Amino acid sequence: MVLHCPRCGRRIPDDAMFCLYCGKSVRLERTGLPLAGGVLVIISSSISILAGVLFALIYLMSGTYMSSQYYSSYPTLSFFSFLGFIFGLYGGIHAIKRESYSSAIGGTAMMILMSIIFSMIGSAAPYSSVFVTVIFSGPIIILSLLGGAFVASKKKEFLPLQRLPVAITSTPFQCSICGFQNPHDCNFCGRCGKPLRKDDTQIY
């Protein structure tokens, strides 16, 4: 997983505990809340795709037993369910990877919107109003809101919107204190956070 310093935005190794360029502790900044939020959003999207498949089957199997007015609502229900799945999966993956805060929140919000539309359309279908709301829309909205709250509470753990470029070459410096191999242009050790000294060993 690619890590970026929450203070300076520079790219740092995944196993670093401190930023190699500004010395900020980065390992302590990471919690499990964005991961938990992303998992909840993906679970919600799974419920959404389940609803889409179910109503698609109802549409294919029950067309001769209901009026065309209600029959036409089932493909629409499936369509919004599949849209909710796509948006939820997109937002959940970005939340787990901490790659883009706006994508994580945006995907989650769009999935909630699709679920609300799904519930409104389902209320017009025969015998499905309570079924749609309780079994599908309700859990999707509740889990998505909870997951979105987890993600929003840890916005600072996501990658900065503006990332400063960094070139990591094949000639690292070895910290004289802990032995961690750091990129040649860094100022602090990625493992112990100590400022690198001029007499530290350069490995060729």
1 has pLDDT over 60: no
Domain boundary among 153, 172, 196: 153
Region 111-137 average pLDDT: 77
User: Is 158 contained in some domain?
Assistant: no
Specify whether 148 is located in the same domain as 54.
yes
Specify whether 47 is located in the same domain as 130.
yes
Specify whether 42 is located in the same domain as 143.
yes
Which of 78 and 202 is assigned the larger pLDDT? 78
Total domain count for the chain?
2
Give the integer Cα–Cα distance in Å for 45 and 35.
15
Give the global pTM.
0.64
User: What phi and psi, each to the nearest 5 degrees, are found at residue 3?
Assistant: -115, 145
203 has pLDDT over 50: no
Specify whether 70 is located in the same domain as 101.
yes
Specify whether 176 is located in the same domain as 133.
no
Specify whether 44 is located in the same domain as 104.
yes
Contact partners, residue 51, CB within 8 Å, separation at least 6: 77, 78, 81, 118, 132, 135, 136
Specify whether 49 is located in the same domain as 90.
yes
98 has pLDDT over 60: yes
Nearest CA to 184 out of 197, 202, 166 is that of 202
User: Is 3 contained in some domain?
Assistant: no
Specify whether 101 is located in the same domain as 182.
no
Nearest CA to 44 out of 127, 147, 122 is that of 147
Specify whether 100 is located in the same domain as 146.
yes
Specify whether 46 is located in the same domain as 94.
yes
Domain extent, residue 189, equals: 12-30+163-204
Provide the pLDDT for residue 107: 94
125 has pLDDT over 90: no
Region 117-124 average pLDDT: 78
Digit-coded pLDDT (tens) for 166-201: 444 444 667 777 777 777 667 787 777 778 765 544
Counting residues of the chain whose pLDDT is more than 90, the rounded percentage is: 26
